[in-house]
Chains A and B, each alone.
Chain A
């Protein structure tokens, strides 16, 4: 399989700091007594340093068992696991676990300890002094968005589910472990909170570059968080281990395709940012300009639109030639107002959303202070998806290459015919 694949994530956050270490599993098997079939059958995979790898699969497929063998909460029956080159089976399990962050769905905060004491547990276990623990606790609570002065001395039961999970993540990170194991950590919170927590994890990971093994049964969560996704079947068999882009564009088999579910193309759009594609340009004019001159620039082509910008270059109104021909004087009142815009960090899905709601057929892209940068049209979006598809179809089974300069394949199946 693609276990030695080291291609960076498409759209590359290449400047990300890496403090994580590599994890290798070699023929790892777990056989429980009294069962004929092993729960985990000879799993071999490499989890690259500093990446988030998501184990995704149906419940009972052994993904949690596989994860728990990394920190030896479950002892493998056979096989070898190394973390940062060290054979975990040769280490003292308690010390091993102190060096690996651990966060679970039920959070598992110790209810008789305060939030601060919970976060300071691992530093305490590895013998930091009191002052350092207190400082670190404060830092970690800050990091996960909880005000230390307000929350440090509360007890877990006084927090909401989402806040508890934040504390859980803070506790997992407190001793700055290179590796983080997360078992459906956001599974028990409401969808909005889950979205926020996911965003925060992405933000934290951007800064930290830990090696994260994340277990979930939610494929969308896997797509959102994973640098790489391992789709697992029963007995933790690896059905596909690749980047989210590759899995969405080209599922390895029926089972994976079923897991990816409907809307793969839409999900692909969540993986790309507006800054990853080339923006189109429309004719623009500043509010003070002559309508007639602008009308000429827009031209007579059917569906042609222009954008009116304000004095500081921020998009104001969509105008068509017809709007201008109708007269009525100023550009400040012609056409329709621009209601929605996206910035360069938005996902292409956001862009599609904006595009569908603006009747001009384009999504306006703005720079940091709201100035006009360009537009995204339907053609660029379709082109992006087509390119992804062709890229991964060509490689089929050997997804080794970096994204090419452009679509080279010609068998653009599925949504192939782009121009409409």
Chain B
């Protein structure tokens, strides 16, 4: 009880800072996810017709994901410096795998009779891709985006080591001063805030999914 009221007063005292870090955190994640979505879908569209291309794209993005994020930041700091550039780079790279893979799977699983019919009635290749295939693959792509977002919420916390923005700063400040006053409070506040924001974002995705998926293909 004592700790809880202590934590409560910590949060109350740093309310504005926490709110600002939360805003930066969500903002950074969302922007990186948008970039990763564009890049990932382009990669997916480019390779989905070729089994070889699909395998390579999936393997490369998987390989990226296996690099520990802490190490990747460390490797990129000498090249890109501190702050936003390495943060964005790392987040986008990590976000690629779920989006690329789900785009490929989603596009490849569109029933060939549907595309055959679409071609047969005179839709151009581009029409078929944009008006048929991507529409049908969209729920799968959106799932990929959702997974990426959740992942980035956690990974962005590490970015504080590279002077990146967001709630990671609370956590790292806390962890680097273990034992001193408010150290635990800061780390816990940052972590809890990330979890809450992740859940809120997930709810937003459910809403986006409902709004952007045709009733005809909703399961």
Report whether chain A binds chain B.
yes
Is there contact, CB below 8 Å, between A98 and B122?
yes
Contact among A96, A101, A112, A121 with B135 in the assembled complex (CB-CB below 8 Å): A112
A125 to B127, CA, bound (A): 10
A96 to B118, CA, bound (A): 13
Say whether, besides A104-B117, A155-B215, A156-B216, A110 and B132 are in contact (CB < 8 Å): yes
CB distance from A287 to the nearest CB of B (A): 59
Instruction: For chain B, residues 81 to 120, give those with C-beta under 8 angstroms from any C-beta of chain A.
Output: 111, 113-120
Residues of B within 8 A of A (CB): 111, 113-124, 127, 132, 135-136, 214-217
User: Please, how many residues of chain A have a CB less than 8 angstroms from a CB on the other chain?
Assistant: 32
Residues of A within 8 A of B118 (CB): 108, 110
Say whether, besides A108-B113, A110-B114, A95 and B215 are in contact (CB < 8 Å): no
CB distance from A151 to the nearest CB of B (A): 13
CB distance from B34 to the nearest CB of A (A): 23
Residues of A within 8 A of B114 (CB): 108-111
Instruction: For chain A, residues 93 to 122, give those with C-beta under 8 angstroms from any C-beta of chain B.
Output: 94-99, 101-102, 104-114, 121-122
Cβ of A171 under 8 Å from chain B: yes
Contact among A98, A104, A126, A171 with B113 in the assembled complex (CB-CB below 8 Å): A104
A114 to B215, CA, bound (A): 9
Contact among B121, B124, B132, B136 with A102 in the assembled complex (CB-CB below 8 Å): B121
A62 to B114, CA, bound (A): 21
Identify whether the interface residues of B are mostly helix, strand, loop, or mixed.
Answer: helix
CB distance from B184 to the nearest CB of A (A): 51
CB distance from B131 to the nearest CB of A (A): 8
Residues of A within 8 A of B115 (CB): 108
| 14 sampled A-B residue pairs with Cβ under 8 A | A94-B124, A95-B122, A97-B119, A99-B122, A104-B116, A107-B117, A108-B113, A108-B114, A108-B115, A108-B116, A111-B214, A112-B216, A125-B127, A172-B121
Is there contact, CB below 8 Å, between A94 and B117?
no
Closest partner residue, chain A, to B114 (CB atom):
A108
A171 to B118, CA, bound (A): 11
Residues of B within 8 A of A125 (CB): 121-123, 127
Cβ of A17 under 8 Å from chain B: no
Is there contact, CB below 8 Å, between A155 and B214?
yes
Say whether, besides A104-B113, A107-B113, A112 and B217 are in contact (CB < 8 Å): yes
A126 to B66, CA, bound (A): 50
A97 to B127, CA, bound (A): 14
Contact among A112, A156, A171 with B121 in the assembled complex (CB-CB below 8 Å): A171
Contact code string A210-246 (vs B, CB < 8 Å = 1, else 0): 0000000000000000000000000000000000000
Residues of B within 8 A of A122 (CB): 121-122
Residues of B within 8 A of A156 (CB): 216
